[in-house]
């Protein structure tokens, strides 16, 4: 009986210890699966939710990618000795934000080789912990519209992986369109899609989509004019297919960037 009670007590202590150790790892990210746009800057979100302003010298931040040092902040200053060469001059923290527990990393002019898993670790008087972020890289651009002689044309110049294009009338009816995809020597897709739109006042949406990015571009025709806007949504599923597909294109994308 006594043994049983001791066993139970031990079990409860173990459960409490596990729960406690979990709650001390408070580091979070507003997006653990971001999709960066090749050549553009990407913010990798990482923070320790805290109400109190801490002394900078009490906060240390480490960003790593598979054992490579991406960035480090310690004793109130960047500590960049040993930083992997591919991140030199391209990674930065927001030093004003670090004192409030915000260790988000700005990665500049993203390359396809930046794809992969990053670990952000924060240690401060307010707590400690780490979070993993899976960065994926795609190529995407907004659509622009033209309207003449009853033909509405959408153009988007940079897409990868290969997208699908579908059109819809504002009533929700799917419309037939003619879409031409051309590839640059680097394998980047350029889209020209045309639709018969004989109404002089109407709204259409053109959806450009691949496994990582969905762009919804809306065109409103008023008389001879057309106005439009594009918004983007990103896949949250980290599919093996996506990363395999992009990796096979890595060398091509690098060529694109160096030419
Ligand atoms: C952290 O700082 C960045 C850069 O100023 C900002 O965009 C982001 O919203 C901040 N995140 C939090 C959780 O405060
Ligand atoms: C779209 O094209 C298909 C096949 O070419 C045809 O059957 C259908 O009627 C067309 N729809 C419209 C709305 O034109």
Q: What's the mean per-residue pLDDT of the chain?
A: 86
Q: How far is CA 14 from CA 5, 18, 21, 218, 253, in A?
A: 14, 6, 10, 56, 50
Residue owning the nearest CA to atom 10 of ligand 1: 102
The band of 241, judged by pLDDT with boundaries at 50, 70 and 90, is very low
The band of 10, judged by pLDDT with boundaries at 50, 70 and 90, is low
> Which protein residues touch ligand 1 with a CB less than 6 Å away?
43, 47, 94, 97, 102, 104
> How much is the pLDDT for 96?
87
Looking at the chain, the whole-number percentage of residues with pLDDT higher than 90 is: 71
Atom of ligand 1 nearest to the CA of 47: 13
Give the pTM.
Answer: 0.79
> How much is the pLDDT for 244?
38
How many A from CA of 138 to the centre of ligand 2?
32
pLDDT tens by residue, 126-148: 889 999 999 999 999 999 999 99
Grouping H, G, I as helix, E, B as strand and the rest as coil, residue 256 is helix
Mutate to test the pocket of ligand 1, among 94, 95, 96 (most ligand atoms within 8 A of CB): 94
pLDDT tens by residue, 60-82: 999 999 999 999 999 999 999 99
Residue 36 or 224, more confident: 36
Structure tokens belonging to residue 169? 């009338």
> How much is the pLDDT for 22?
45
> In degrees rounded to 5, what are phi and psi of residue 129?
160, -175
List CB contacts of 249: < 8 A, sequence separation 6 or more: 112, 160, 161, 187
The band of 39, judged by pLDDT with boundaries at 50, 70 and 90, is very high
Residue 257 or 19, more confident: 19
Alpha-helical (H) ranges within the chain are 2-24, 95-98, 240-248, 250-258
Residue 151 or 11, more confident: 151
> How much is the pLDDT for 55?
87
> How much is the pLDDT for 51?
77
Mutate to test the pocket of ligand 1, among 29, 50, 102, 103 (most ligand atoms within 8 A of CB): 102
> How much is the pLDDT for 6?
57
Identify which of 231-235, 245-249, 252-256 has the greatest average pLDDT. Answer: 231-235
Give the Cα separation of 202 and 196 in Å (integer).
12
Residue 4 or 91, more confident: 91
**Domains in the chain with CATH codes:** 26-138 (2.60.40.10), 144-258 (2.60.40.10)
């Amino acid at each position: 009986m006594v043994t049983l009670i001791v066993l139970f007590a031990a079990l409860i202590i173990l459960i409490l210890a596990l729960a406690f150790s979990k709650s001390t790892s408070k580091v979070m990210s507003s997006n653990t699966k971001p999709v960066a746009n090749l050549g553009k800057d990407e913010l990798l979100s990482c923070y320790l939710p805290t109400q109190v302003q801490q002394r900078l010298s009490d906060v240390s931040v480490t960003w790593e990618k598979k054992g490579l040092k991406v960035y480090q902040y310690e004793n109130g200053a960047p500590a960049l000795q040993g930083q992997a060469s591919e991140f030199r001059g391209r990674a930065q923290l927001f030093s004003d934000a670090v004192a409030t527990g915000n260790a988000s990393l700005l990665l500049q002019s993203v390359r396809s080789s930046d794809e992969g898993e990053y670990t952000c670790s924060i240690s401060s008087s307010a707590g400690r912990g780490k979070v993993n972020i899976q960065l994926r890289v795609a190529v995407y651009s907004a659509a622009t519209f033209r309207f003449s002689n009853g033909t509405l044309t959408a153009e988007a110049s940079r897409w990868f992986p290969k997208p699908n294009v579908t059109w819809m009338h504002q009533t929700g009816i799917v419309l037939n369109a003619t879409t031409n995809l051309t590839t640059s020597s680097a394998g980047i897709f350029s889209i020209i899609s045309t639709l018969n739109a004989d109404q002089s006042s109407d709204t259409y949406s053109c959806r450009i989509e691949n496994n990582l990015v969905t762009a919804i571009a809306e065109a409103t025709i008023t008389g001879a004019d057309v106005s439009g806007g594009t918004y983007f949504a990103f896949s949250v599923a980290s599919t093996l297919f996506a990363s395999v597909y992009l990796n096979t294109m890595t060398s091509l994308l690098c060529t694109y960037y160096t030419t």
